[in-house]
Amino acid sequence: MARTIIIETAGGPENMKLADLSVGDPGPGEIRIRHMACGLNFIDVYQRTGLYPLELPHALGMEAAGIVEAVGEGVTHLKEGDRAAYASMPPGAYSEARVMPAAQVCPLPDEISFEEAASIMLQGMTVEYLFHRTTPIAKGDSVLFHAAAGGVGLLACQWARSEGIELIGTAGSDEKCALAKEAGAAHVINYSKNDFVEEVKGITGGAGVDVVMDGVGKDTFDGSLDCLKPLGMMISFGNASGPVPPVNLLTLAQKGSLKMTRATLFTHLADHAKCQEMAKHLFSKVISGDVRVNIGQRFPLERIADAHKALEARQTTGSTIITL
Ligand SMILES: NC(=O)c1ccc[n+]([C@@H]2O[C@H](COP(=O)([O-])OP(=O)(O)OC[C@H]3O[C@@H](n4cnc5c(N)ncnc54)[C@H](OP(=O)(O)O)[C@@H]3O)[C@@H](O)[C@H]2O)c1
């Protein structure tokens, strides 16, 4: 049996319930993993509220680290006793143990703790694909990154600094701006107090940035387009403030032949070899010291509702760990 957070109906944080579920044995292509720590991500909120619908009832949680207890037929990259971590479908990581597909589970180097792994797998591999697999970004290029003191944000600031990329970070308070700056943002903008479009124009001498990475969504989308240079690239990758309404393609022409993608990590992770390569790249950045893990807060599994409330209320910084 394993304590597991489930939802029976989509809705508020109070809809999450702690259940005792039997775990069972792995089938072909699966493993059983005993979790040591789980991660909290905004996608968990979208799945809980029904913005990203799940077949209900369903367990929640997309990221964890732990020890492999058993492997099913055909699994060759993991064995019983291995340390491992993942960001993977299907949801179910808010649990003490689970059976799951093995393909997206990655061997975890000894240098990285379970808590560190549970805080970087989803947000760190997101940063990996944003900077390396979405659009060409060269040393010296400028990137506007919203919510730069969040989980993805603080990792992005450090990643950009290590690659010589000039990251302009936005955040909702002066304290958060200071965190983003310390993590490597070349410039920071408190977008609760200041018009970020005007600020970006000022910082770039009116030119705009090469790339925008926007996980905030509805509230920042229009302004983000106004921050781009002609031929610039808009990467929309989240909806923390709500989903972006339908876009008129002509807007992209009028604002200077802009390019745009709505990117998602799970497209990249779908390929087993690519997923393992992305995880190795992320681990190497952490082990080299280029990227430091930022665990801003911890909540025990039974307080998962408080964790969701804090994330949605913009009260968290860096990554959040769910302890077991
Ligand atoms: N597509 C993908 O592959 C992918 C993968 C991972 C994450 N994401 C997305 O990336 C974004 C960041 O994820 P995360 O888990 O690291 O979360 P996070 O950045 O730690 O938290 C979200 C942050 O968004 C900002 N925000 C602005 N308006 C908000 C609002 N109305 N409600 C709540 N937050 C608001 C807040 O920072 P300020 O107070 O500083 O504004 C808040 O702290 C999310 O949109 C997530 O869905 C996408």
129 inside domain: no
238 inside domain: yes
Instruction: Determine how β-strand 166-171 pairs with β-strand 142-145.
Output: parallel
Same domain (yes/no): 164, 66: no
Q: Identify the domain boundary among 262, 287, 302.
A: 262
In this prediction, residue 312 carries a pLDDT of 98
Work out which ligand 1 atom sits closest to the CA atom of 40: 15
Mutate to test the pocket of ligand 1, among 216, 265, 299, 321 (most ligand atoms within 8 A of CB): 216
Mutate to test the pocket of ligand 1, among 152, 158, 224 (most ligand atoms within 8 A of CB): 152
Q: Identify the domain boundary among 262, 282, 297.
A: 262
In this prediction, residue 285 carries a pLDDT of 98
Mutate to test the pocket of ligand 1, among 38, 40, 42 (most ligand atoms within 8 A of CB): 42
Work out which ligand 1 atom sits closest to the CA atom of 239: 45
39 inside domain: yes
Same domain (yes/no): 171, 144: yes
Same domain (yes/no): 53, 164: no
Residue nearest to atom 32 of ligand 1 (CA): 241
Same domain (yes/no): 107, 79: yes
Give me the torsion for CA of 161, 167, 172, 175, rounded to 10°. 40
Q: Identify the domain boundary among 241, 262, 283.
A: 262
Same domain (yes/no): 246, 298: no
> DSSP states of 62-114 as a string?
-EEEEEEEEE-TT--S--TT-EEEEE-SSS--SBSEEEEESTTEEE--TTS-H
Work out which ligand 1 atom sits closest to the CA atom of 317: 20
Mutate to test the pocket of ligand 1, among 314, 315, 319, 320 (most ligand atoms within 8 A of CB): 314
Give the domain CATH number at 89: 3.90.180.10
Residue ranges of the chain with per-residue pLDDT less than 50: none
SS (H, E, C) 286-308: HHHCCCCCCEEEEEEHHHHHHHH
Tally of residues, the chain: 324
> DSSP states of 148-213 as a string?
TTSHHHHHHHHHHHHTT-EEEEEESSHHHHHHHHHHT-SEEEETTTS-HHHHHHHHTTT--EEEEE
Same domain (yes/no): 114, 139: no
Quickly tell me which residue has 């992305």 as its tokens. 278
Work out which ligand 1 atom sits closest to the CA atom of 312: 33
Residue 125 in 3-state DSSP? helix
In this prediction, residue 17 carries a pLDDT of 98
C-alpha angle 148-115-160 in degrees, rounded to nearest 5: 30
Same domain (yes/no): 89, 17: yes
Same domain (yes/no): 116, 145: no
CB-count burial class (<10 Å; 0-12, 13-18, 19+) for 280: middle
Task: Give the DSSP letter of residue 56.
Answer: S
CA 109 / ligand 1 centre spacing (Å): 28
In this prediction, residue 322 carries a pLDDT of 98
Work out which ligand 1 atom sits closest to the CA atom of 242: 31
Q: Within 13 Å and on the Cβ side, how many CA atoms surround 223? A: 19
127 inside domain: no
Using CA atoms, how far apart are residues 42 and 86, in angstroms rounded to an integer? 16
Segments forming the whole domain that contains residue 73: 2-122+274-323
Same domain (yes/no): 240, 289: no
205 inside domain: yes
CA 146 / ligand 1 centre spacing (Å): 8
Domain count, the chain: 2
Tens-digit pLDDT profile for residues 80-117 = 999 999 999 999 999 999 999 999 999 999 999 999 99
The answer to whether 117 and 29 are in contact (CB under 8 A) is: no
Same domain (yes/no): 227, 186: yes
In this prediction, residue 214 carries a pLDDT of 98
Using CA atoms, how far apart are residues 304 and 29, in angstroms rounded to an integer? 30
Using CA atoms, how far apart are residues 88 and 35, in angstroms rounded to an integer? 14
CA 100 / ligand 1 centre spacing (Å): 27
Closest to 146 in 3D by CA, of 235, 26, 33, 251: 235
Residues with Cβ < 8 Å from 254, sequence gap 6 or more? Answer: none
Same domain (yes/no): 53, 165: no
In this prediction, residue 226 carries a pLDDT of 98
148 inside domain: yes
In this prediction, residue 117 carries a pLDDT of 98
pTM for the whole structure: 0.99
190 inside domain: yes
250 inside domain: yes
Residue nearest to atom 18 of ligand 1 (CA): 150
In this prediction, residue 79 carries a pLDDT of 98
User: H helices then E strands: how many in the chain?
Assistant: 10, 16
Give the domain CATH number at 155: 3.40.50.720
Same domain (yes/no): 296, 251: no
